[in-house]
Amino acid sequence: MVNGEKERVSLLFMKALVSRGSVDAVSQQMASHPQYLESFLRTQHYILHMDGPLPLPYRHYIAIMAAARHHCNYLVYLHSAQFLRVGGDPVWLQGLEAAPPRLRLLDHINKVLAHQPWLTACSHIQALLKAGEQCWSLAELVQAVVILAHCHSLCSFVFGCDTDSDPASLSKSPNGTPPTFCPFDAANGNANVPQTLATPSEHITRRRSLDSSCDMVCLKEKIQKSQEEREKREERLLQTQGLQQTDMEEEEEMICFADPTRFITDPDLCYQEFARREEDHFQVFRVQDYSWEDHGFSLVNRLYSDIGHLLDDRFRSVTTLPSMHSPDLKRAIWNYIHCVLGIRYDDYDYGEVNQLLERDLKLYIKSVACFPDATKTPVCPLSLAPLKPSEQIHVNLLIMEARLQAELLYALRAITQYMIA
């Protein structure tokens, strides 16, 4: 990275350290592309922490449900810890059956979007919006769908970058408490963060606004000052906390390491080859009939204020990143992912996919996009070893964003069909 990009990444990481005392493993992986990282963090912070129709515990529980579909221990653990920090009921973490009925109603659309999004239908939306006392509002459902799609696609990135198998990303923090979190990033691993910055008192709510023009000296002073303040608070807490607090922390830690299978039903449901034959019931999703630019963007932005702009910025950022990959290659990757998920572009020559993407690369892309948890089994040894690390990250970012947009298109089209029915 050139000096300007390094300073940009340093500023993002400094903000995270000042605000919460941690830099998550996912952000560290994305740091080679600071322009995209900034867009990603902004979007994730908005959907998980900012104003919206869903309570904070609901948001993180939905994220747990989404990550569990791909058996992503990394995200299940991290969102479980954050769920507790925002006041979630620990009983819910015993499993999906312990969650409120309204959350359990999301189970079907969660597993369909995760594995076979082309099955998403107007009837699924109607079932959620007309469920009697447990019904969802349209605004709540849209936010829930955005969180589901965001976490499903993030699972692809986590597994593609091998973050889920990194013991450091799931390590315990001091005094038996879960790791702390960036304010704008709930997918947090606390990897390589000094223990003095990862203190149990960190879940005390504290928001800071940093001027982007503040120089590094100022930021370091803020870090030192905030660290001293945290240490003082920790000393006071340790003086007042007894065995009861210790027991509670141990209970929280145990729950945070809950088996992801507790949060899923129908575990055998997985990705299947999208039907292409004329006699098959499911038709190809044609972008000319329903696209993000002409339909999805306006709908999601109307029902969930500003999220359309944030998502659109992510899609644009990942496709315009400086890269050794040619624009044609990046488009081939994007369109190939959409193709295996049943989405087609009438104005694209799919012969370019076979010309530009080698067989091993196609296998990698399809595996990470469609069944990421299976990519770490011995029978499927996939790797992007020939590519430079930053280029490997770029490929995984393209996979994540293309999958995210595909899931959103299917869900938003079903919502549109419900609204005009």
Write a three-state SS string for the chain. Answer: CCHHHHHHHHHHHHHHHHHHCCCCHHHHHHCCCHHHHHHHHHHHHHHHHCCCCCCHHHHHHHHHHHHHCCCCHHHHHHHHHHHHHCCCCHHHHHCHHHCCHHHHCCHHHHHHHHHCHHHCCHHHHHHHHCCHHHCCCHHHHHHHHHHHHHHHHHHHHHHHCCCCCCHHHHCCCHHHCCCCCECCECCCCCCCCCHHHCCHHHHCCCCCCCCCCCCHHHHHHHHHHHHHHHHHHHHHHHHHCCHHHHHHHHHHHHHHCCCHHHHCCCCCCCCCCCCCCCCCCCCCEECCCCCHHHHHHHHHHHHCCCHHHHHHHHHHHHHCCCCCCCHHHHHHHHHHHHHHCCEECCCCCCHHHHHHCCHHHHHHHHHHHHCHHHHHCCCCCCCCCCCCHHHHHHHHHHHHHHHHHHHHHHHHHHHHHHHHC
The residue annotated as part of the active site, out of 72, 155, 182, 256, is 72
Confirm whether 4 is domain-assigned.
no
Q: Is the pLDDT of residue 346 over 70?
A: yes
User: Is 238 inside any structural domain?
Assistant: no
Band the pLDDT of 226: cuts 50, 70, 90: low
Q: Pick the residue with more confidence: 191 or 150? A: 150
Q: Are 149 and 404 in contact (CB under 8 A)?
A: yes
Amino acid 72: pLDDT: 93
Q: How confident is the model at residue 75 (pLDDT cuts 50, 70, 90)?
A: very high
Q: Which of 115-119, 224-228, 239-243 has the lowest mean pLDDT?
A: 239-243
Question: What pLDDT shows up at residue 278?
Answer: 47
Lowest mean pLDDT, pick from 49-53, 163-167, 172-176, 387-391: 172-176
**74 in a domain, yes or no?**
no
- Does the residue 47 lie in any domain? no
Q: How confident is residue 219, by pLDDT bands cut at 50, 70 and 90? A: very low
Rounded mean pLDDT, 106-114: 97
Q: What does the mean pLDDT of the chain come to?
A: 78
Smallest CA-to-CA distance from 202 within 64, 84, 341 is with 84
Q: Is the pLDDT of residue 255 over 80?
A: no
pLDDT at 127 (0 to 100): 95
Predicted pLDDT of residue 162? 81
Bridge partners (DSSP) listed for residue 344: 286
> Over 70: is that where the pLDDT of 79 sits?
yes
| Structure tokens given for 143 | 């936010």
**pLDDT on residue 190:** 37
Q: pTM of the prediction?
A: 0.78
Residue 371: domain span: 285-420
400 in a domain, yes or no?
yes
Average pLDDT over residues 266-278: 77
Mean predicted confidence (pLDDT) in 12-17: 52
Share of the chain above pLDDT 70, in %: 67
Question: Is 50 exceeded by the pLDDT of residue 327?
Answer: yes
Give me the mean pLDDT over the 346-361 stretch.
93
Is 200 a domain residue? Answer: no
Using 50, 70 and 90 to split pLDDT, how confident is the model at 266?
very high
Report how many domains make up the chain. 1
Residue 52: the pLDDT is 95
Centroid of chain to Cα 102 = 22
Domain annotation covers residue 268: no
The answer to whether position 98 is within a domain reads no
pLDDT at 5: 57
The yes-or-no answer on residue 72 being catalytic is yes
